Amino acid sequence: MFLDLDGTLLDLAATPDRVRVDGEVAALLPALAAHLDGAFALITGRAIADVDRLFPELALPIAGQHGCERRGANGAMHRHSVAGSLAELRERLGRLVARHDGLLLEDKGATLALHYRLAPRLAGYVHRAVRTEVALAAAAGANWCLQRGKRLVEVKPDGRDKGTAILEFMAEAPFRGRRAVFAGDDLTDEFGFAAVENLGGWAVKVGPGATRASYRLPDVNAVREWLAAAVRAEAA
């Protein structure tokens, strides 16, 4: 079982730091991991350190920053090197954000996310500006790509995504040899959907929107009830 976090297990908030974890989901995750004999991981765009802040009592397997970093079921950390530095791009996007109220630049370490949830009128401008900056970085030899999300655009290393992270987990114990299931809500999750379906697994889209996933749940509450029902069935 692989699960996205924001918009799948946790309700979205105006900014990433305002997302809150309630006791119900905090208790559900370790119960689900036990139910699956440890074959459970979070697959998120957040940094692993940020997820550990949200769940301080847990140390689950997790892929952070779209697979740029990954903690295996055995606790081993894997970080993928990238070509080029984010320093100049971070500075240039920081100046862009400073000129416009409502924009937020989230620096995750290996990736950058420019949020415009509080200024949706700037969506077109943000996408054009970030696309230009990434093209300039690529001309200088950097290996970055753009990833669209829900009212954000992200800069991440080319070749890394949630699908590659899931495939890496599936090559390791205790995931190896099992049917892969992945639930997510955003455009970034389509890579994960493709990976699990190519493996013969099940992809679950949360919320509205076009998708390649074969299954759908309407919202975060439905995801939690689905998972809790699986845990209850095991207990029974």
Catalytic residue positions, numbered: 4
d(CA 133, CA 43): 27
Exposure letters 127-164 (e unless 16+ CB within 10 A, then b): eebbeebbeebeeeebebeebebebbbbbbbeebbbbb
Distance between terminal CA atoms of the chain? Answer: 20
C-alpha 59, offset from chain centre:
17
d(CA 84, CA 191): 24
Q: Which two tokens stand for residue 150?
A: 């829900």
199, 201, 204, 209 alpha-carbon torsion, rounded to 10°: 40
